[in-house]
């Protein structure tokens, strides 16, 4: 029996886990800080993998922030890890450990994990959205992970909503991430309060989306409207996704998606207003991610297993 090793590489933590080939319960798991803005991230990845390494590991799967090229296994220029520019992560891991290594975008892997093991099981067409610091996405079309010609498909957080909108983390303006991410929600609230908006919130210490959610639940009218604004623009984006992908389920993950009706009441109203045709909503499921923080790790596991099986069949 061979083992598969999965890595979830984030801006804050590196997680590595080893699995038997018929299980999603790890036989070994390790978490360490990425320290992404300090030199030596690759060495920390190696040490995390070595901590859970077993001699019968046959393949490695890695979920990583992008942009990246999954076909060559190269990190292009992810803002989360500044020292990696055109960094051939998969090849370096394969050379070091002597087994094949697969690399893909963390949101793609989270979507693939939910489709394989979580809320998306049984669906052939799926859109996954994670709403947290940023907005990321993954798409399954006819039982296949959408990657695109350059491997840069399904960058759903960078759907353009308003070219005159606020700046996005990528440096462009008006993407859905610049309206509906936790970062965008906090920035908008801070700017409005500093401009004189009345609220129980104080903008001096740097607001977070969680603080704004707490104030909204306590009845703060401005905090409520701030989440309603984010939901409105999210509805526009998802109306576009439905027109492009026509999924049978939309799965939401990430911390901001946990605020419930604060976000999703206005989202649903906006979606119905902006949808191209009501037929898209017939039997459409909207669900929360079932795998929680493990969605990316388990997606990398499933992806490595898939590629290993494809390689075995090709021999």
Q: Give me the residue spans of the domains in the chain.
A: 3-105+293-314, 119-289
Do 192 and 173 form a contact (C-beta atoms < 8 A)?
A: no
- For 211, the token pair is 């603080």
pLDDT of residue 313: 75
192: pLDDT strictly greater than 90? yes
Q: Quote the CA–CA distance of 305 and 236 in Å, as a whole number.
A: 36
Do 266 and 216 form a contact (C-beta atoms < 8 A)?
A: no
Residues of the chain above pLDDT 70, percent: 99
Per the confidence metrics, is the pTM higher than 0.75?
Answer: yes
pLDDT of residue 315: 66
Fold of 119-289: Nucleotidyltransferase; domain 5 (3.30.420)
pLDDT of residue 314: 73
Do 103 and 59 form a contact (C-beta atoms < 8 A)?
A: no
Q: Can you name the residues that pair with 264 across neighbouring β-strands? A: none
At the fourth CATH level, the homologous superfamily of domain 3-105+293-314 is: ATPase, nucleotide binding domain (3.30.420.40)
Q: Quote the CA–CA distance of 2 and 18 in Å, as a whole number.
A: 10
Query: pLDDT tens digits, residue range 198-238?
Result: 999 998 778 999 999 999 999 999 999 999 999 999 999 99
Query: pLDDT tens digits, residue range 132-172?
Result: 999 999 999 999 999 999 999 999 999 999 999 999 988 99
């Amino acid at each position: 029996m061979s083992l598969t090793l999965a890595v979830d590489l984030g801006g804050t933590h590196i997680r590595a886990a080893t699995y038997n080939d018929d299980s999603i319960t790890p036989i070994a798991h390790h978490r360490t800080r990425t320290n992404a803005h300090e030199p030596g991230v690759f060495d920390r990845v190696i040490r995390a993998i070595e901590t859970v390494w077993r001699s019968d590991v046959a393949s490695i799967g890695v979920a990583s922030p992008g942009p990246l090229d999954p076909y060559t296994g190269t990190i292009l220029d992810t803002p989360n890890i500044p020292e990696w520019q055109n960094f051939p992560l998969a090849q370096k891991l394969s050379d070091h450990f002597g087994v094949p290594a697969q690399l893909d975008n963390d949101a793609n892997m989270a979507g693939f994990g939910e489709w394989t093991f979580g809320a998306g099981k049984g669906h052939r067409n799926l859109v996954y959205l994670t709403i947290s610091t940023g907005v990321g996405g993954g798409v399954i079309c006819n039982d296949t992970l959408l990657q695109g010609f350059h491997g840069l498909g399904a960058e759903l957080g960078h759907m353009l909503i308003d070219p005159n909108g606020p700046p996005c983390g990528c440096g462009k303006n008006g993407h859905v991430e610049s309206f509906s991410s936790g970062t965008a929600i906090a920035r908008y609230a801070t700017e409005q309060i500093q401009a004189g908006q009345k609220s129980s919130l104080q903008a001096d210490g740097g607001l977070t989306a969680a603080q704004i959610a707490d104030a909204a639940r306590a009845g703060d009218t401005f905090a409520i409207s701030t989440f309603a604004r984010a939901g409105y623009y999210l509805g526009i984006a998802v109306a576009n996704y439905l027109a492009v992908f026509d999924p049978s389920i939309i799965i939401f993950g990430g911390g901001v998606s946990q605020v419930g009706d604060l976000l999703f009441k206005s989202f649903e109203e906006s979606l119905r207003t902006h949808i191209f045709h009501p037929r898209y909503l017939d039997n459409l499921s909207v669900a929360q991610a079932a795998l929680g923080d493990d969605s990316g790790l388990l997606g990398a596991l499933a992806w490595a297993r898939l590629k290993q099986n494809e390689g075995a069949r090709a021999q």
